[in-house]
Amino acid sequence: MVVIPGGPGLGSVVPYWRWRRFAASRGLDVMMVEHRGVGLSRRDRSGRDLLLEHVTVTAAADDLAAALDAAGVDQVVVYGSSYGTYLAQVLGVRHPGRVAAMVLDSPLLSVPGDLRMVREHRRRTLWEGDLAAVVQEAARHVPADELAHVVQVVFEFAGPDVLAQLLLARNRGRALALWRTVNWLGREELDGPGTPFIHEPDLVAGIAFGELGFGLPPDGSPLDPQTVVAAVAARRPPFRGEPVDLTSAVRGFHWPTLVISGERDLRTPRPVAERLVDLLPQGSLLPVADMGHSALDSHQKVAVLAARAAVAGTLDRLPGLAGRIAELPHRGASNWWGRAMRAAVTAHDVRAGRYPWPA
């Protein structure tokens, strides 16, 4: 099987070596390809540095097929996470004969097409739901981009109780150092120099902004994810249009596809996953309770379970086991950040002598 991580800009070799070892211990033969423009793939075969215009979605998909040719592999199960689901689908469009089955974890179908659903889901969940009072209070004195970013990170990684605790503290002028730390998390994914072999956003900017539309303008309403990237987008290639119309193309996928969707995913939320399943001829949805974005990063036992089912040809059984699957212990880097946030917020409450929510 081929596993494609998110990003674009996220490395494969270094960040996922533990996951590959875990998957191999469960009997999976895993192949990962360093994305064009990232880590070990920043140069061409003659050793020259790649340029921004060399790094495109279709070229990256063709790289996957070329790597399969080099390895002598005719057909694979394709597992994509987040942006990796987009690349997986493009691989399916350009090289359909290479795909035996797919797992699309926290899927991206079309940034322009998905954005309305993403905004509506975020506002329905946070601006109108149980957290409305503390979120709306924070919006009165916190910059819009900060609030949109922090609520996403904390809600996905640590859950609504921890988010409520942090917002209560922030609304009272406390926990400012913790707030600044959370606000910093993930900001470097689209801007800055990145970290070699871990995350390198520079050469993939043409994909993120020029082809996928990550820099589409904000709509002026609360909790818009586009406020977080607005300043960065001004320095990045303008959106030219998507390279493939996946909304139409996925209707022709002839292989079984499992779509994994976390209950707390605000980046590629449940309505996007449901829309994709409706379009796929052999699509099924695995909803995962108490999970945010990307099982590959936050719930790796679920990722391995889905991968094994895809290899065994039993993907259709997993939705019926959703309740038992959700009870699996969490494992992954994102889950570690969630535990750290919960501990930090709880420690702040203990120091302040307050227990507004159960720890």
In 109-216, DSSP assigns E strands to none
What was the pLDDT predicted at 352?
Answer: 53
Over range 18-28, report the average pLDDT.
95
Which amino acid, one-letter code, is at 12? S
150: confidence class by pLDDT, cuts 50, 70, 90: very high
What was the pLDDT predicted at 175?
Answer: 87
Segment 270-300, tens digit of pLDDT: 999 999 999 999 999 999 999 999 999 999 9
In the chain, DSSP assigns E strands to 2-4, 76-81, 99-105, 257-262, 283-288
What was the pLDDT predicted at 353?
Answer: 46
3-state secondary structure of 195: strand
359: confidence class by pLDDT, cuts 50, 70, 90: very low
Token pair 């900001």: residue: 187
What was the pLDDT predicted at 191?
Answer: 74
**What is the secondary structure of 312-347 as a DSSP string?**
HT-GGGGGGGHHHHHTSPP-SHHHHHHHHHHHHHHH
pLDDT at position 196 over 60: yes
Please state the pTM of the whole predicted model: 0.94
Over range 155-176, report the average pLDDT.
93
Spatial distance between the Cα atoms of 239 and 233, rounded to a whole number of angstroms: 9
What was the pLDDT predicted at 349?
Answer: 60
Spatial distance between the Cα atoms of 299 and 150, rounded to a whole number of angstroms: 21
What was the pLDDT predicted at 350?
Answer: 44
Segment 316-358, tens digit of pLDDT: 999 999 999 988 988 777 667 777 878 888 777 645 545 443 3
What was the pLDDT predicted at 263?
Answer: 97
Mean pLDDT of the chain: 92
Element spanning 93, H or E:
helix 83-94
- Joined tokens for residue 276: 């994709």
pLDDT at position 183 over 80: yes
Q: Specify the range with the lowest mean pLDDT, choosing from 20-29, 87-96, 170-179, 208-217.
A: 170-179
Segment 252-261, tens digit of pLDDT: 999 999 999 9
Segment 97-145, tens digit of pLDDT: 999 999 999 999 999 999 999 999 999 999 999 999 999 999 999 999 9
Tell me the HSE value of 64 on the side-chain side, using a 13 A CA sphere: 33
Domains of the chain listed by start with CATH number: 2-111+241-329 (3.40.50.1820), 117-237+335-352 (no CATH)
